[in-house]
């Protein structure tokens, strides 16, 4: 069980990081709150208005021809980076 003074390393993985819509809005809110006491990383293919302070952002390459190719080509690089 983590103690109050222990900093956790937290990673969020999302294909498109957008602070204003979809599930990435939820990720943005969680990352923003967790960054106060923990080391937070966000892995994504695209970033729309990232919050620069206290969060580390990692670009994950993906071939964006269609939805299937995006998902299939995002999974392996994301797994390797995390």
Structural domains present in the chain: 9-81 (3.40.50.2000)
What confidence score (pLDDT) does residue 1 get?
A: 55
What confidence score (pLDDT) does residue 56 get?
A: 93
Give percent of the chain with pLDDT exceeding 90: 46
With a cut of 70, say whether residue 2 has pLDDT above it.
no
**pTM for the structure as a whole:** 0.81
With a cut of 60, say whether residue 73 has pLDDT above it.
yes
**Burial category of 60 from C-beta neighbours within 10 Å (exposed 0-12, middle 13-18, buried 19 and up):** buried
The helix or strand, by DSSP H or E, that contains position 42, with its residue range, turns out to be strand 39-44
């Amino acid at each position: 069980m983590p103690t109050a003074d222990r900093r956790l390393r937290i990673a969020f993985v999302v294909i498109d990081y957008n602070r204003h819509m979809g599930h990435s809005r939820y990720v943005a809110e969680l990352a923003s709150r967790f960054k106060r006491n923990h080391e937070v990383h966000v892995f994504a293919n695209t970033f729309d208005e990232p919050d620069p302070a206290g969060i580390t952002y990692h670009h994950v390459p993906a071939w964006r021809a269609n939805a299937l190719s995006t998902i299939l080509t995002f999974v392996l690089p994301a797994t390797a980076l995390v």
